[in-house]
């Protein structure tokens, strides 16, 4: 009498496959979150190094913060010929030693968050051409003539006689955010780390992975996307005293309404240097 062969029935095989699929559906998002958490750690380290460079710069320049933009932008129409704008990244480069002053450093330099995958676009024929290294961070704009829109600490106009805030001019450095995750095609080394002319409209931009799409501005087939950078919905913000805090961007200030996300020009405002708006709490 021959022995009976054992094996899986079709139903048993389908049950095993279903269990594997369920486990994969549960574990893959966990792995993705863990990977993004690791990238967030790099992002925080980047910001700390940049902030340390800014603090060192201050000590050498009578506690004067560096300019966000120093001098006009010179669009020369040529590819890979050097910087067209001179900004904070070049001013503190001697302190952070990030490498070339604008060249193709790729994703290994401290100016790029590893989760920031937007290509930079200089309208030189294709995205990523003639832009130098990616910059993932914006810096708050200081405009003393318009304190309710330019309420940050770095002057971005480069006009002779204008300057950034001083360290002594910011009463609460440990409560004042001076840099933020700002992912968009205009933020790159050949230009300079960008800002918002009206800082108060920052929250009107979506949180990554959502984005505001400006369309194909350069006509090179690439849509310009703008986002407040984030990791699993949480953004990292750098403070003037050198520490970095992870929190939802919605905590920056009170908005006009649930649908109008512009700052309502009332305290508190975590990006404002003025003590009437930033109480240091």
Query: What distances in angstroms separate CA 187 from CA 72, 112, 115, 241, 276, one per listed residue?
Result: 16, 10, 15, 24, 31
> What is the model's pLDDT at position 13?
79
5 found inside a domain: no
Sign of CA dihedral 114, 116, 118, 124: negative
> What is the model's pLDDT at position 85?
83
Residue 139 has pLDDT above 50, yes or no: yes
> What is the model's pLDDT at position 125?
87
The whole-number average pLDDT for the span 10-23 is 82
The whole-number average pLDDT for the span 63-67 is 94
Residue 19 has pLDDT above 50, yes or no: yes
Residue 199 has pLDDT above 90, yes or no: yes
101 found inside a domain: yes
Residue 24 has pLDDT above 70, yes or no: yes
110 found inside a domain: yes
Q: Which domain holds residue 85?
A: 10-251
The whole-number average pLDDT for the span 82-102 is 78
Residue 224 has pLDDT above 90, yes or no: yes
Residue 233 has pLDDT above 90, yes or no: yes
Buried b / exposed e over 14-27, threshold 16 CB at 10 Å, is eeeeeeeeeeeeee
42 found inside a domain: yes
> What is the model's pLDDT at position 254?
94
Between CA 136 and CA 180 the distance in angstroms is 9
Between CA 256 and CA 200 the distance in angstroms is 10
The whole-number average pLDDT for the span 9-34 is 76
Query: For residue 220, which phi and psi values (nearest 5 degrees)?
Result: -110, 15
86 found inside a domain: yes
Between CA 64 and CA 66 the distance in angstroms is 6
> What is the model's pLDDT at position 96?
85
Q: Are 191 and 178 in contact (CB under 8 A)?
A: no
153 found inside a domain: yes
The whole-number average pLDDT for the span 64-77 is 84
Domain count, the chain: 1
pLDDT band at 159 (very low <50, low <70, confident <90, very high): low
Q: What is the mean pLDDT of the chain?
A: 88
Residue 245 has pLDDT above 50, yes or no: yes
Residue 75 has pLDDT above 70, yes or no: yes
Q: Which of 102-111, 143-152, 172-181 has the lowest mean pLDDT?
A: 102-111
pLDDT band at 35 (very low <50, low <70, confident <90, very high): confident
> What is the model's pLDDT at position 107?
44
278 found inside a domain: no
Residue 1 has pLDDT above 90, yes or no: no
Residue 105 has pLDDT above 50, yes or no: no
260 found inside a domain: no
The whole-number average pLDDT for the span 248-272 is 95
Q: Are 271 and 256 in contact (CB under 8 A)?
A: no
The whole-number average pLDDT for the span 1-14 is 68
Do β-strands 224-228 and 212-215 pair in parallel, antiparallel, or remain unpaired? antiparallel
> What is the model's pLDDT at position 160?
62
What residues contact residue 181 under an 8 Å CB cut-off, 6+ apart?
43, 113, 116, 136, 137, 138, 208, 228, 229, 230, 235, 236, 237
C-alpha Rg value of the chain to the nearest Å: 23
Angle at alpha carbon of residue 58, lines to 57 and 63, rounded to 5°:
160
**Maximum average pLDDT range among 101-110, 153-162, 262-271:** 262-271
């Amino acid at each position: 009498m021959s022995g009976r062969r054992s094996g899986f029935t079709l139903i048993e095989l389908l049950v095993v496959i279903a269990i594997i699929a369920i486990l994969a559906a549960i574990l893959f998002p966990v792995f993705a979150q863990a990977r993004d958490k690791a990238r967030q750690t790099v992002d925080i380290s980047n910001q700390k190094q940049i902030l340390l460079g800014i603090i060192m710069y201050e000590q050498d320049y009578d506690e004067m913060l560096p300019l966000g933009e120093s001098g006009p932008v010179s669009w020369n129409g040529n590819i890979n010929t050097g910087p067209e704008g001179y900004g904070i990244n070049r001013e503190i480069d001697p302190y952070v030693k990030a490498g070339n002053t604008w060249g193709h450093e790729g994703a290994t330099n401290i100016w790029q968050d590893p989760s920031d995958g937007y290509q930079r676009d200089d309208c030189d024929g294709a995205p990523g051409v003639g832009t130098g290294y990616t910059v993932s961070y914006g810096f708050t704009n200081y405009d003393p003539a318009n304190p309710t829109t330019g309420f940050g600490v770095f002057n971005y106009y480069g006009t002779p006689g204008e300057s950034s805030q001083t360290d002594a001019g910011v009463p609460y450095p440990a409560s004042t955010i001076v840099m933020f995750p700002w992912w968009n095609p205009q933020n790159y080394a050949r230009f300079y780390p960008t800002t918002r002319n009206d800082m108060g409209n920052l929250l009107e931009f979506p949180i990554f992975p959502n984005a505001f799409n400006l369309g194909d501005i350069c006509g090179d087939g690439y849509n310009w996307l703008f986002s407040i950078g984030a990791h699993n919905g949480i953004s990292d913000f750098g403070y003037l005293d050198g520490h970095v805090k992870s929190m939802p961007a919605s905590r920056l200030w009170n908005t006009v309404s649930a649908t109008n996300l512009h700052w309502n020009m009332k305290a508190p405002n975590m990006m404002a240097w003025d003590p009437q708006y930033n109480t240091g709490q």
